[in-house]
Amino acid sequence: MLTGSQLIHRHIGAPAHPECGPAAGPCWVCGGDLARGQRVEDWQGAQFTGQNRIRGPRGTHVCEACLWVMSRTTPVPGRPPQEGKRFGGNWRNYSHLYDGTGTYMNASKGEKPLVLAFLRAPHPGPWFCAVADSGQKHLLPWVPVNPGPGPGRVLFEEREIALPAHGDARWAVFGDTAALLTAGATKEEIAAGSYGPGAWQRCGEQVRAYEERWAPERGGAWHELAVFLAQRDEAEVQARMEREKTERTAKKARTAQEKKRATHRRAEGRAAGAHDGGPAGDPAGPPGVAGSERPAALGPVVRPDAGGRPDVREPGGVDDARPAGHADRKPKPRQLALL
């Protein structure tokens, strides 16, 4: 069977690579049979770093198909150069989808719904799906090719994932993840299972339901693929954000109104206290009221002492009290002024 890179190369018309010549044996990279290729030692100048992934260690050549899909200068179907640029898309930047009818598609990170729709659809075979995450690694030489209908296997970056059968309940993780993203959780929170205060406030019940169902899948490639491909409903997110904005504005207005009422109540309390004679325990009485004096200023209160005897003090103010010995003192003669 042809490998992923060989299927794509044939699909685009098997263009000749200028550095290839006749060769035989397995391809050193993908392991597929080759008729044309380049010697490994000549190709290694391309700074290949995937030696741990080679499929044909006994091979002496790299097949023409692998050279084509791993080159920076060869065109990617549907990804022409932008204005002013020399080269178009880079093969390693895209996910690659090939079905048994000969249809080939590639998808950028912004086209994840296309990848998910492809995975959900049945394919007669041979078919494959290589899902790029980092955009820094070539995938086509190593993507598993599924021979016929059935769940099959896909390549997610460097991890192979066995797909559940169509109709299996595990496919629901994509819809549930998208719904939780729409409700207000982030991909980082869902991937780690650790949610911040914002997520708990916005969608706490959905978080609990999601974790109850999908926490056992966390850490596996299937859950990672679901988090990567799931997309939130942007229209619903916009509507939710508008609702949250309205609620924040209303809450702010209520808070301001409550502060205003509290300030008004304090002002009324101070005014009532001044009218009724001042705060409790104030011996001075209401300030500024004519004729109000402290009780002590009106003289001592006449009442029996502790023994029940009447107050025998003689009348007189503080100025009438005379210190002891005052009567024995004679007034000093006033010094006559000198003439």
Does residue 18 sit in the same domain as residue 50?
Answer: yes
102 compared with 252, residue with greater pLDDT: 102
Domain annotation covers residue 301? no
Inside any domain, residue 137? yes
Per DSSP, the chain holds a count of helices (H) and strands (E) of: 9, 8
Last residue of a domain, one of 137, 162, 187: 162
Determine the pLDDT at residue 267: 81
99 and 153 together in one domain: yes
Residue 328 domain flag:
no
DSSP state of 27: B
Considering only residues 283 and 51, tell me which one the structure prediction assigns the higher pLDDT: 51
Asked whether 171 and 165 are in contact (CB, 8 A), the reply is no
| Coil, strand or helix at 154 | strand
Task: State the average pLDDT over residues 237-264.
Answer: 78
**Of the ranges 178-192, 211-225, 239-253, 267-281, which one carries the lowest mean pLDDT score?**
267-281
Question: Quick check: is 222 in a domain?
Answer: yes
**Domain residues for 194?**
169-232
Task: Say if residue 324's pLDDT is above 60.
Answer: no
Residue 155 maps to a domain = yes
210, two tokens: 């999601």
Q: Please determine, for residue 221, whether its predicted confidence score (pLDDT) is greater than 70.
A: yes
pTM: 0.70
- Same domain for 19 and 57, yes or no, is yes
Instruction: Please indicate, yes or no, whether residues 188 and 218 belong to a single structural domain of this protein.
Output: yes
Quote the tokens at residue 41.
């030692």
Residues 231/232/235/239 CA torsion (nearest 10 deg) = -170
Look at residue 45 and tell me whether its pLDDT is greater than 80.
no
For residue 239, give both structure tokens: 């509507």
Evaluate whether residue 323 is within a structural domain. no
* Residue 44 CB partners (closer than 8 Å, separation 6+): none
- 199 and 222 both lie in a single domain: yes
Tally of domains within the chain? 3
Lowest mean pLDDT segment, chosen from 12-16, 143-147, 251-255, 314-318: 314-318
Domain closes at, from 100, 135, 162: 162
Give residue-wise pLDDT tens across range 194-205.
999 999 999 999
Nearest CA to 151 among 235, 222, 257, 208? Answer: 222
pLDDT of residue 317: 43
- Residue 190 domain-assigned (yes or no): yes
pLDDT for 173-187, tens place per residue?
999 999 999 999 999
Q: Which of 112, 139, 162 is the last residue of a domain?
A: 162
56 and 12 fall within a common domain: yes
Beta-carbon neighbour count of residue 262 at 10 Å?
Answer: 10
Q: Both 23 and 61 in a single domain?
A: yes
Q: Are residues 110 and 155 in the same domain?
A: yes
When pLDDT is cut at 50, 70 and 90, the band that residue 262 belongs to is confident
In a domain, 325, yes or no: no
